[in-house]
Amino acid sequence: MTSDGENFDRSDPAARAAARARDLERRDRSLRLAAGLGLGALALGTPFVAEPLTGDSGAVVGAVVAALLFSGLATAVWPYEWSAEERHHRRLEAIWREVRSDADEAVPWERYAAWAESDGRQVCLALIRWGPRSGEAAHGPSPYSRQPVRRMDGEDVEAAAEAMEALRAEAAKREAGARERYEHEQAEAERAAHAMTLQEIEDTAAADIAAGEEQVRREMAAQEESEQRAQAEALARALRRP
């Protein structure tokens, strides 16, 4: 039974997901209401108790500033109606937590789950996708998305069961593929980094060798020039003698 007192099938993930989403909205609203009222009370009471508590009449000015801050915070946390996008996100999040036991596990690749829900006299099979978020995207749109795959008549029990099994296999295949691609990209990135490191080592060694060879050439040229100077000086001395 939900907090509304409505009966529902606890064995049905869809019913549990719906109850989870409703409870989350109520809890969010209750927490926001409590925080807003508490901050509002501080905003109203702070200017009146500042002087009696501190014994300083100048504290009232600071208390008024604090009251304005509390008032702004109360406005920020006050309960609001969820947008259609947020409701959609919360619903998919609740579904994901029902169909995935590892819902809280964070991985760097896409994950999938098969889902079925009734739509009038038909059953709609869909893939629920969870995508990792990082950086600025971590605060962006919902990581969950829903992709309708197939609609079937509610009387085609056997065909629907087979289609659901096939969809679960497809979800597992897509997730395995996403993981494989991620691991391949990581391996390629590691190989590229290793190759770059080796190239840097080779370039450094080549530069050191070239510098060493240049130093040897300069030393040999200096030695040759010194010998030539000495030889010329010796010849000049010899020629100067009578």
pLDDT of 242 higher than 80: no
Rg (CA), the chain: 38
Output the pLDDT for position 114: 95
Q: Global pTM?
A: 0.61
| Domain edges within the chain | 1-81
Distances (CA, A) of 47 to 38, 54, 181: 15, 11, 61
pLDDT in tens, 138-194: 455 789 999 999 998 888 889 999 999 999 999 999 999 999 999 999 999 999 999
In single-letter form, the type of residue at position 121 comes to R
* Non-local CB neighbours of 20 within 8 Å, separated by 6+ positions: 94, 97, 98
Output the pLDDT for position 52: 67
